[in-house]
Amino acid sequence: MSQSLAQKIISRAAGRPEVAVGEIVVARVDLAMMHDSGGPRRVWPRLKELGARIWDPERVVLVSDHFVPAVDAESAEILALTRRFAAEFGIRRFHDMQGICHVVLQEYGHLRPGMFAVGGDSHSPSGGAVGAFMIGIGATDMLAVLITGETWLRVPETWQVLLDAPLPQGVCAKDVMLKLLADLGMANEYVVFEYQGPGVAAMPMEERFVLCNMSAELGGKTGIVPPDETTLAALAANGVEVDAAWLSLRSDPEAVSRQIVVQAGALAPLVAKPHSPAQAEPVERCAGERIDQAYIGACTGAKLSDLRMAAAVLRGRRVAPGTRLLVAPASQRTWQAAAADGTLRILSEAGAILLPSGCGACAGLGAGLLAAGETCIASTARNFKGRMGSPEASVFLGSPYTVAASAIAGRIADPREFL
């Protein structure tokens, strides 16, 4: 039977020669990632109730990224509890305030191609950027993983998304995902989105990350990019001992149930209107909409490549009066790299306000929340009602290019006019 890349990974993890789409199988977990919000504070009491220990602390990665830095006694206690949990259970791969979990996971080389991984966060599909199969789960499912080292899942079908050409200037992976959301909607359940083609081959890892990351918004089980030389080079740079056999991790062509071609060479910037990522339209249809805030943040939109896109637009320009530009780099390493190459200086000189690394305003937690009646354009993944502060606020989504261009104009603007 022909197998997709996802099926091959699941088969291996399930200890089976092959698995069929639609069947429910039990798979052994290679890596489990959790964070301060959905992790220790929720699983520890139940581990105690059950008198259970963690099956293999070496396979667990713990990241504090949601309530960082603490803004009140409650969030401080959540972070303190997370630290106590790491010590109690001997979790050595604990990243305390070093950045957003999905980004940190790759920066520190924890993920490998072909892994079967779970994450206690809905954007766990981001792990597909390195060719791992990684799915998001809730805290009780995570509890079961922590105790047994296993989870059950329904074997998903695979849809191949083919980017037929490299993207034009001023257009990026975020625009690809907004286009897919506009076309396919958000109810594509039990589907793995596999991204391929010349447009993907030309993308750096951080852009591939965005494709996989926003597969969550499509409603898919996860996203994945079959590993290539770019993958191996990035893994090696992050300290992973690479294995050339990873290059053969591919879907059998007959195992792909649908192919979606994105005419990438002709793609233009898109913006999602409030209150859904699927309300995406070409930027010109929203152009002129006045904004109070421009936000560059989150795993989706504040990695080094995202900050560089913003800097390309902002270089030598100023944020419009009456508009604020907030930038929360995705990780400490992002900060360091963006400081070293001058990106942070460009942002700062343009008038950007720099915020701590973490999930921040994207998750409605940190600095940068909105008042009733305010309008924001953000490089984040979601703009559901009330997510970023008041339910009476309006959030548009765009690429880092588009957010930066809009900050300069004080209204939603096409970034290609600034490049």
Partner 1 sequence: MRIVGRAFVFGDFIDTDVLAPGPYLRKPLPELAAHCLEALDPGFARAVRPGDVVVGGIGFGIGSSREQAVQALLHLGVGCVLARGFARIFFRNAINLGLPVLCCPDIEVQAGSELDILPAEGRVLDRSSGRVFQAQALPPRLMEILAAGGLVPWLQARRSEPRAPARNG
**Which chain residues interact with partner 1 by CB under 8 A?**
26, 37-38, 42, 46, 49-50, 67, 72, 74-75, 78, 120-122, 124, 136-141, 143-144, 148, 150-152, 186-187, 189-190, 219, 221, 276, 278, 363-365, 369, 382, 384-389, 391
Q: How far is the CB of 48 from partner 1 (least distance, A)?
A: 11
Report the residue number, 89 or 190, with the smaller CB distance to partner 1. Answer: 190
CB proximity list for 127: less than 8 A, separation 6 or greater: 102, 105, 106, 111, 115, 117, 119, 133, 134, 212, 222
Q: How far is the CB of 43 from partner 1 (least distance, A)?
A: 10
Report the residue number, 62 or 388, with the smaller CB distance to partner 1. Answer: 388
And the tokens for 189? 């359940």
Q: How far is the CB of 141 from partner 1 (least distance, A)?
A: 6
| Phi and psi angles of residue 310, each rounded to the nearest 5 degrees, phi first | -60, -40
Q: How far is the CB of 406 from partner 1 (least distance, A)?
A: 23
Q: How far is the CB of 291 from partner 1 (least distance, A)?
A: 20
Report the residue number, 26 or 233, with the smaller CB distance to partner 1. Answer: 26
Say if residues 101 and 118 touch (Cβ distance below 8 Å): no
Bridge partners (DSSP) listed for residue 94: 62
- Return d(Cα 396, Cα 281) in angstroms, integer: 11
Q: How far is the CB of 203 from partner 1 (least distance, A)?
A: 26
380: left (phi over 0), alpha (psi -120 to 50) or beta: beta
Q: How far is the CB of 175 from partner 1 (least distance, A)?
A: 21
Report the residue number, 26 or 245, with the smaller CB distance to partner 1. Answer: 26
Distances (CA, A) of 399 to 62, 104, 112, 120, 411: 29, 21, 28, 26, 15
Report the residue number, 134 or 240, with the smaller CB distance to partner 1. Answer: 134
Angle (CA) 243-221-281 rounded to 5° is 110
Angle (CA) 374-321-276 rounded to 5° is 30
Helices (H), 57-129: 73-89, 101-107
Identify the three-state secondary structure at position 91.
coil
10 Å CB burial of residue 52 (0-12, 13-18, 19+) is middle
Report the residue number, 74 or 241, with the smaller CB distance to partner 1. Answer: 74
And the tokens for 296? 């560059």
Report the residue number, 232 or 370, with the smaller CB distance to partner 1. Answer: 370
Report the residue number, 235 or 363, with the smaller CB distance to partner 1. Answer: 363
Please report which helix (H) or strand (E) contains residue 136, including its range. strand 133-136
Report the residue number, 388 or 397, with the smaller CB distance to partner 1. Answer: 388
Give one DSSP letter per residue of 22-68, joined into a string: T-EEEEE-SEEEEETTTSHHHHHHHHHHHT---S-GGGEEEEE-SS-
> Which residue has tokens 């907004």?
178
Strand 280-282 with 270-272, pairing: antiparallel
Q: How far is the CB of 411 from partner 1 (least distance, A)?
A: 26
Say if residues 54 and 145 touch (Cβ distance below 8 Å): no
Report the residue number, 112 or 221, with the smaller CB distance to partner 1. Answer: 221
Q: How far is the CB of 215 from partner 1 (least distance, A)?
A: 12
Q: How far is the CB of 179 from partner 1 (least distance, A)?
A: 19
